[in-house]
Amino acid sequence: MDLPNFEGYSRPDLNTWFGDGYNPVGFAMKYDWVTKTYRIFGNMYLKWEIIPGLTFKTNFGIDLSILDEKRFNENWGTDNRINNPSSLSKGMGTDFTWNWTNTLTYKKTIKEKHNLTVLAGTEALQNDNHQQWGSDRDFPDQSSYLRYLGNGLTLNKGANETETGWSLLSAFGRINYNYDRRYLIEAVIRGDGSSRFSKDHRWGVFYSGSVGWNINNEKFLKNADWLSQLKLRFSVGQSGNQEIGLYNYLSVISPGYNYPFGGVVYNGSVVSTLGNINTTWETTTTYDIGLDMAFLNDQLTVITDYYWRHTTNMLVPVPLPPSGGDATPPFVNAGEVLNQGFEAELSWREDKPKFKYEISGNFTILKNEVKKLGGGRPIAAGRVDNGTFATLTEEGYPIGSFYMYEMDGIFQNELDIFTSPYQGPGIKPGDVKFKDQNGDNIIDQNDKVHVGSPIPKIMYGLTFNCTWKNLDFSLFFQGVYGNSIYMQINQDIEGFYRGFNVTKRFYDHHWTGEGSTNEYPRASWIGATNNKIASTRFLEPGSFLRIKNVSLGYKIPFKETSWVQGLRVYISVQNAYTFTQYPGLDPEMYNSDNLKGENVKNPDLASGIDWGTYPIPRIYTLGVNFNF
């Protein structure tokens, strides 16, 4: 690719500097990846009132996706060293899910004050997935019209096929009772059986209950016209989590491992993934106390909640001891996490003959803490380099907490290096300085500390809606505060991990001599030392405020006799603008694209790592709504 090069920072003719290969334009043009998805989904239901008050309802739905995917990696770059040889993979697949729910509901009112609703039901869900893939390599002609299986020169053409499935069977019941619309009671029980667990541990039973008091319906408040609602409520409920691999209870034996015996090498197999037949449902118990208030005929409403959410039997893949070998560990029930916080929502509305508006806001304060881990051993995850992980899940800290060296500035001269804690060989002026956390005057693994969390401390939103005559306008803001994001992509780019392009901010502000900066190191790929090591240098604030949606519409009036009852023309913008200090493409990302840890794959343990996540697009919509 013919791209501009800054003086001294690129050598297209030199392979040790990666030549002209690794640049974003090249990657975009030389990798052909096309995915087509065809989807059919829908549901139907039947409702039957057997006798007055007793109703049966059955609902059946399907969701079918057909996948057609083709990837071609073109051989290119100086001396054809990139993607050598060229390769093609072609895949077809189907994913089919059906869901069948049946409920029987009985409603009864006694003496106009006792209101009872009883519901019982079942639910069945099943998913089947079928994938077929073929591959070919070493294409003598890479023209687009010749990129088909069978045209490669390699004799080792690939073919594989997978078929997986899972199912869920549930039974549930619910009882609602209220007396004179003042005192409310609800009780729920639900049993779920999942094929993801072994046959002896598939079922989980979960309970919930709630009580409420509509204080505004009491006689002593009947003359309080200014009070529309005053409701005090308390609830406790359980829910289950089954989100693990489909066959966690089975061990996987993989061939292709050779072992020498008596001077002879024999073909062998190893247990590459350990199974666990004792894994069962993760359970979350939530306690919530809330107060709902409304005033002035519902013009002003206030909703508040304090919650305490305790997760037990947490599903985590606890790292194996050295005696376990290199096998991938199974998910086990080995942790407890506590989430607690406060939620509030406030809204105000006015309804006038020609002008109506409503403004509402909400926020959530959240504190997350790991209370217990199996064996007490921390879990490292979020691999950002060979043997280096960005997060550590440890008792007493938030789940997936960032754990790394803390940057303490830039070495300005040789005296600065000499008088600072020893940071390893090859340190030069202009290199990153790490903080000596334990005071032993040596920078090593013992100086890594917890430095932030990907979980926001506060989440909030603001909505404004108004209408004036036939015009309507809406505005929605969304934001978070207090979380961090690890920019792994900048560890590669600004850390000179490889000879890639650099960011403009690094080129403009990197260290060029004593006193020039205490934030960005010298520009050097060779002997980068501390400059490419995972540290708070690549940890960025993830707080943001986003204009999530803006919409303006106009209703065209029609006569009542017209066959068109209403027509509305509107224009809207999604993700209109984002206010943030985050230098990456999009701060609204919480899951890493690389969840690898110590053979760990769990998104909760490695969220908030930016590998160059594709940003949320800004969407402009011009539409028309008809009512007939």
Helix (H, G, I), strand (E, B) or coil at 48: strand
Closest CA to 331 of 278, 382, 389: 278
Token match 């995972």: residue?
534
Read off the DSSP letter of residue 21. Answer: T
**Quick check: 301 and 350 in contact, CB under 8 A?**
no
Q: How confident is the model at residue 601 (pLDDT cuts 50, 70, 90)?
A: low
Residue 542 has pLDDT above 50, yes or no: yes
Whether the per-residue pLDDT at 624 is higher than 50: the answer is: yes
Q: How confident is the model at residue 402 (pLDDT cuts 50, 70, 90)?
A: very high
Token duo for residue 454: 């990907």
Using CA atoms, how far residue 540 sits from 289, 322, 508, 509, 522, in Å, is 35, 35, 19, 17, 20
**What pLDDT score does 399 carry?**
93
Report residue 82's pLDDT band, with 50, 70 and 90 as the boundaries: confident
Peptide bond into 85 cis (omega under 30): yes
Q: What is residue 233's three-state secondary structure?
A: strand
More confident residue, 167 or 354: 167
Helix (H) or strand (E) holding 417: helix 414-418
Structure tokens at 59: 């609902």
Q: What are the strands of the beta sheet with 379-385, ordered from one edge?
A: 379-385, 388-393, 401-404, 449-452
Q: State the pLDDT at residue 371.
A: 93
Residue 16 is predicted with a pLDDT of 46
Domain ranges for the chain = 25-462+477-546+563-627
Residue with tokens 């023309």: 569
pTM given for the model: 0.83
pLDDT band at 590 (very low <50, low <70, confident <90, very high): low
Mind listing the pLDDT tens digit for each residue in 316-350? 887 777 777 778 888 889 889 999 999 999 999 99
- What pLDDT was estimated at residue 165? 96
Contact (CB, 8 A) for 350 and 300: no
Amino acid, single-letter form, for residue 13: D
Percent of the chain whose pLDDT exceeds 90: 63
Residue 248: per-residue pLDDT? 92
CA separation for the pair 615, 583 (Å, rounded): 12
DSSP secondary structure string for all residues of 50-91: EETTEEEEEEEEEEEEEEEEEEEE--BSGGG-BTSS-EEEEE
Per-residue model confidence (pLDDT) at position 528: 67
Segment 441-445 long-range contacts (CB within 8 Å, at least 24 positions apart): 443/405
Average pLDDT on 491-501 reads 72
Which range of 211-225, 274-288, 377-391, 494-508 scores highest in mean pLDDT? It is: 274-288
Q: What does DSSP say about strands 609-610 and 484-487: parallel, antiparallel, or unpaired?
A: parallel
Say whether pLDDT at 485 is over 80.
Answer: yes
Q: Please tell me the predicted confidence (pLDDT) of residue 497.
A: 65
Q: What percent of the chain has pLDDT over 70?
A: 92
**All residues at 6 or more sequence positions from 425 whose CB lies less than 8 Å from its CB, including other chains:** none
Amino acid at site 255: P
Q: Supply the pLDDT for residue 598.
A: 43
List pLDDT tens digits, range 128-160: 999 999 999 999 999 989 999 999 999 889 999
pLDDT category at 549 given cuts 50, 70, 90 is very high
